[in-house]
Every structure is written in structure tokens, then in C-alpha cells.
Amino acid sequence: MSRLDLSLVEIEVRSGPPITSEQFAQAVAARKALSRFLMGYRGALEEMLTKIKILKEEFEIVHDYSPIEHVSSRMKSPESIMAKVDLRGLERDFTVIRGNIFDIAGIRITCSFISDIYTLADMLTNQKDVEVLQVKDYVAEPKPNGYQSLHLILSVPVFLSDRVEEVPVELQIRTVAMDFWASLEHKIYYKFDKDVPAHIVAELRQAAEVANSLDQKMERLRTEVNSLQT
Ligand code: 0O2
């Protein structure tokens, strides 16, 4: 089965008239196909998280400092995958989804300093089994609303019993200040059902500038402190 069909996956839990044995078999097959499809993403997510954990531990042991402040991860729900597929007008087919939706497995890392973002991105993208599929640098070029973050789509091999799957993972890396701004903006965006009043949009834009100048100041301080220590 190569199609993502949530109506089949959910058939067992729907109330209503009893289902036929054929419908039941279809539901079981649909659920199995979905689990198999998502399993590769869970594997890729775990692999990337292990790479990040190793780097964090090594930094703490060797340098008494880690560029990684916090790591979070999530798997996109089948419902959100479906919503994105429909929004983009894509076919509800697993191969099409694999080739077009890159944020099914997602990781977010927060760092203290802007330079840490690039240090970390270089360390991960230079690993031999990691392929870079896409880079969106909203730190160098913030979005018009002020959003800043480095977005990478990385592909890692997942070794299964009979094949190797190259699976994409979305990695967002940003400073604590950028993350603070993004999480508030996200909440406001949904509170106003994506139609935020103009004065709030303008204030958020200003807040992004304040966050950015804090980041720049911290980076300068860090450079100065480091130069005094050597
Ligand atoms: P969620 O729930 O965070 O996963 P694409 O994902 O490629 O279809 P796009 O916009 O081209 O869509 O991708 P992009 O620019 O890489 O942004 C994707 C994700 O970045 C979003 O995921 C957000 O997590 C985050 N993001 C992008 N722009 C903004 C922004 O202006 N404000 C905030 N707070 N976050 C942003 P999703 O899919 O929206 O949802």
C-alpha cells in the first residue's frame, strides 16, 4: 500500500455500523503502511539526536562549554502531514510525500551565541553520512516579520532489515533570544487565527530587532572575554 489514507487508518475506532472483514483488512494494511513509513523518520530522528548528544557531551568534557543550550524534537502527526499534502496540492502517496515534505521529523536546537549556530551546523553537515538537502539561512537574512533561525534539511541513512533508506530531517538552529521571539510570535499568530493586527506585527518586528541587538552584544562580549583569557 503506497497511499496515505487516514480514513482507512481510523476506520477501526469510528463508531457506526459494523465494518466488513474486507474493510477491517484494509484498515490493518493502511495502519501498517503508515507505521512503516513513519518508522524510517523516527529512526532518522534518533540518529540525528544521537549525533547532537555526542557533540554536546564531547564539548562539555573537552572544552568545558557546549554550544548547545537545549534540544527538542517532534514527529509531525499524520493529520498535519495530510493537511500539508492537501495544502500543497500533492498526491497522497508515500513516495510523493517523502520527496516533498521534509519536516516530518524535526529537531530544534537553541544556542547561546550566533556563532555557535554555524559552528554546530558545520559540525553536523561535515559528518560523512549526513547529506545537506536544503539550507535556509534566516539568521543572515531574517524574514520580513523579523523571524531568525538557521533551517537545514539533512538526509541520513537508516539501515533497515532489507534496505537502506535516506530519510530527511528538518533541523532548526537558533539562539535563545531568537527562540524566545519565535515561540511568542507563534502563539500570537495562532491566537489571532493568523490575522494579527498591524500594530502588533510592528511591535513584534521591533522586538525581533531588540533580540537581535542583544545577540550581537552578547557575541561581542564573548569575543572580548575570550581574547582576555588567552
Ligand atoms: P511547525 O508546527 O513549527 O512544524 P515548508 O515547511 O517548507 O512547507 P516554509 O515556510 O517554506 O514551509 O519553510 P521554512 O521557511 O523552512 O519554515 C518552516 C518552519 O519554520 C515552520 O514550521 C516554523 O516552525 C518555522 N517558522 C518559519 N517561519 C516562521 C515565523 O515567521 N515565525 C515562527 N514563529 N516560526 C516560523 P511550520 O510548518 O509552520 O510548523
Work out which ligand 1 atom sits closest to the CA atom of 143: 31
Which residues of the chain are under the pLDDT cut of 70? 1, 4-17, 230
**Percent of the chain's residues with pLDDT above 90:** 67
How many angstroms is it from 53 CA to the middle of ligand 1? 24
CA dihedral 192→195→197→202, nearest 10 degrees, is 110
The residue contributing the CA closest to ligand 1 atom 21 is: 103
The torsion angles phi and psi of 105, rounded to 5 degrees, stand at: -110, 125
pLDDT at position 228, please?
Answer: 85
User: What are the E-state strand segments in 61-149?
Assistant: 70-75, 105-111, 131-137
Kindly report the pTM of this predicted structure: 0.90
How many angstroms is it from 185 CA to the middle of ligand 1? 12
The residue contributing the CA closest to ligand 1 atom 38 is: 103
Work out which ligand 1 atom sits closest to the CA atom of 183: 34
Query: Would you name the residues annotated as active-site residues?
Result: 170
pLDDT at position 230, please?
Answer: 65
pLDDT at position 159, please?
Answer: 94
Q: Ligand 1 pocket test: which of 75, 148, 186, 196 has the largest number of ligand atoms within 8 Å of its C-beta? A: 186
User: CA-CA distance, 227 to 66, in Å (whole number)?
Assistant: 18
Work out which ligand 1 atom sits closest to the CA atom of 106: 4
User: CA-CA distance, 23 to 14, in Å (whole number)?
Assistant: 12
Q: Do 138 and 150 form a contact (C-beta atoms < 8 A)?
A: yes
How many angstroms is it from 228 CA to the middle of ligand 1? 40
Question: CB within 6 Å of ligand 1 — which residues?
Answer: 103, 106, 136, 143, 145, 147, 151, 182, 185-186
